[in-house]
Every structure is written in structure tokens, then in C-alpha cells.
Amino acid sequence: MSPEGRATEPGGEVSGRPDLREWRPGVHEPKLGPDEVRVWVVELDAGLAAGLDEETAEPGPELVMLAADEQVRAARFIRARDRRRFVSCRAALRQILGVLLDASPGSLQFRAGGQGKPELVPEPGRDEPSDCRHPLRFNVSHSAELALIAVCRGRELGVDIERVRPFAEADRIVASFFSTAEQAAFAMIPDEAKDRAFVRGWTRKEAVLKALGIGLAGLAAHYETGFGTSELTMRFTPATPAPRVDQ
């Protein structure tokens, strides 16, 4: 299942498939089990008041839910649309985590963890003792009017979402960051199917990168993810990278 016009991929080593659902504010969410992964699709333009234009509407009352540094980041966006979507995404993240933790969304604090990945600042007494061994982990991705928010316990995970569109540099990117086997597979994909296949392959690479907290150069060096033309196995295949192609 994926939103129309988007390629979405979860990354991370967990048993079973992620539970993909639509985010609706105010909906009750039961506690997460230690092996459970939930991924919410968030419509960032949802909830606009009648008469407001999505290009010019500014962030709504959810702005007060954000911390000072998040509000500063929002203010840096030039377009009102992008400011509002950023705020909507951060507010949805806070609401989802707040529901799962029985905490006020505005009270949550974040910090950079290992490899620079964002994580929650632990608050004594917030989780039950049995949950302390499995702290919440989350990852966020957004593209245009949609976002993905993934949450699990005690395991690292990553998600990515991209609008499906033509990429003029797709062949060069595949030659630079995909394995030899993946390059051969991509060459066999019909031209009319390459745009979607490339974005599927790229979102898989990005999801793995975000789960592991590694840089772009590590993508092809560690994992072979394919282009969505066959079933994705529970563990990605170790791959040997091709040399990077110079422009």
C-alpha cells in the first residue's frame, strides 16, 4: 500500500510488515508492542479552513505545539506553504508520540542521538518500567503534501517518501550508488516503467541510510535493495559498490 503518486519504503530489521495507516488527530492509539512497527501517512494540507489557499495559508494553531528551535526552522522557509507543511509534520509527530507515551505533545523534547539521528529525550517516569528496555524510536520523511512517520520500540528504523516524477540523472545515479547487479536489473526495466522503478529503488536506499544513520557514500557499499520489481526480503542483500561515475 502506498499513497497515489508516491513511492514509500520502510527500512529496519523488524519481524513482520509495518502497519501502514492514515493519521487522524484525536484517534486513540494502543501501546506499541516490542516487535510492532506503525507507519502513518500524514496529509500535510488537511484541515485548511474554508477559503484558505494551500499556497499562501500560514501555519495554524499547531505552531504553539512546537519547541522554539522548531519554530525557528519553520520561519526559515520562504514559502508559506512550506512553513505550514513543516509545522503540520512536526505537530503530527508530536501528537503521535504523545499519544503513545501518554504525554502532552508540547512537552516532548528531542536531541541528536548516535550518528546524528533525532531521538526523544528520556523523561523519568514517562514509560512503564517494562517499556524502558524498549524506548520509542521514530523516523520521519515528507515530500510535497504527504509525510510518513514511523515508530517502533527498541530498534532503529528509517522511512522515505518521494513524489514519482522523471529524473534526468537517474541512469547516472544508478551507476554511482547502486550495485552491479542492480545496474543490470535497472537496464532491463522498460523505459515506461523506469521513473517509478527508480524512485522505488532510491526511497529504499534512503530508508536504509536513515535507519543506519550513515551518509550517502555508504548506500551501495552495504545494501542491495532493488527497484520494487520483485518481493523485498526481510534482510537486505550485502552488495559491492560500483565506482562512482564522474560527471
Our separate counts of H helices and E strands in the chain read 6, 8
Q: Is a pLDDT exceeding 50 seen at residue 2?
A: no
Cell 513511492 found at = 7
Nearby residues of 48 by Cβ (< 8 Å), 6 or more positions away: 54, 57
pLDDT per residue as tens digits for the range 193-245: 999 999 999 898 888 888 888 766 655 546 778 887 766 555 555 444 433 32
The three cell numbers locating residue 219: 548506500
Element (H, E) at 22: strand 19-22
- Looking up cell 506499541 gives 32
How many CB atoms neighbour CB 211 within 10 A?
Answer: 23
76-98 residue pLDDT tens: 999 999 999 999 999 999 999 99
Domains of the chain and any CATH numbers: 6-161 (3.90.470.20), 166-247 (no CATH)
224 and 232 in contact (C-beta within 8 Å)? no
pLDDT averaged over every residue in the chain = 81
